Structure 1
């Protein structure tokens, strides 16, 4: 630790106090899957349902963090790793305040997701694999990214010319080809150890 950093953790409201006040524990729910798999849509639906139940929840996704916190990063593998690392650090802070943080990021490699797990810690990290076949992701592609990738306009696009490494042992797997958004959000919420 740098010489000029003096932690004040012992002076702050403790996590156990926050969780007692919230009536639930904090956690980082990391939704991973291909672009268009439904990660952000499921996270938003789950956040709404949790909010309506009085659960302190917050969504962090690629678009809302790249617009501010990570606006200086591109999409090279190095920048994607840094994007993921920064989000993990922010998510950890939220979880320590007792929030359920719903993070929706492609995070295509197991190594990236392991970095998140290492930062967040095993008690708080819940990996959710939003498992959607590539052809369905392409059909849902509201941003037109797959078409651009197939036309060669976007290079190193996950699922087209850059691989996606599926989780080997996720906390939860949502097979969205056969689920509505509401069903997926409900499955996610029911699985949470709050």
Structure 2
């Protein structure tokens, strides 16, 4: 069936969409353990960017899992497909000229490398929310760590499934030692330095 597909040329280019919005479209890929603070930071970051009149879209793990990826489980294969779909959607949003903020555990180095490849090196910013497992378990906002420790959830990242921390992230955020305001400020500073038009 793929042999019968033909890409249709676009009359409006990605650069024209970018110019209209007067911003550099990128993907801020927030990764870290469950309970690390990814969603909290992502939401606060979008509020700040919106206040600066930036055009954004936020893709959050649980929200995407209920719709676009509602047919997927949590096997290694399903997790990889989850990240692949998110990456493809993010790439489309970048081509539309948006600043995309994603908040996904995305535990594997391989899968994040795939995301970077799909989205494009120049548009991919890896943000590691480096909250220690002990702190994530202490917070446990959804009660998932407790359930995982009781054996009620299998393949839970950090307990019986591995999280591979980024080797060389663009930004590292430590939510134990800095406030939400400080974390957002550091991300905004990075964006101003690297992507201001």
Q: What TM-score, normalized to structure 1?
A: 0.96
> Are 2:105 and 1:106 aligned?
yes
Residue 145 of structure 1 deviates from its aligned partner by 0.2
Residue 35 of structure 1 deviates from its aligned partner by 0.3
1:6 is matched with 6
Return 5+ residue gaps in structure 1 as ranges. none
Residue 186 of structure 1 deviates from its aligned partner by 1.7
For residues 105-146 of structure 1, give each alpha carbon's deviation from its aligned partner in whole angstroms, at most 9, with x where no partner exists.
101110010110111111111111100011111122111000
User: Matches of residues 1-194 of structure 1 in structure 2 within 5 Å?
Assistant: 2-11=2-11, 13-192=12-191, 193-194=194-195
Residue 16 of structure 1 deviates from its aligned partner by 1.1
Matches of 2:7 and 2:34 in 1, distance apart? Answer: 39
Matches of 1:178 and 1:32 in 2, distance apart? Answer: 18
Q: How many residues align?
A: 193
Residue 3 of structure 1 deviates from its aligned partner by 3.2
Q: Secondary structure at the match of 1:30?
A: strand
Residue 56 of structure 1 deviates from its aligned partner by 0.6
RMSD across aligned C-alpha pairs, in angstroms? 1.2
Deviates more, 1:51-60 or 1:177-186: 177-186
Q: Secondary structure at the match of 2:156?
A: coil
Q: Secondary structure at the match of 2:114?
A: helix
Matches of 1:3 and 1:75 in 2, distance apart? Answer: 32
Matches of 1:114 and 1:3 in 2, distance apart? Answer: 28
Matches of 1:191 and 1:94 in 2, distance apart? Answer: 21
Matches of 2:21 and 2:95 in 1, distance apart? Answer: 12
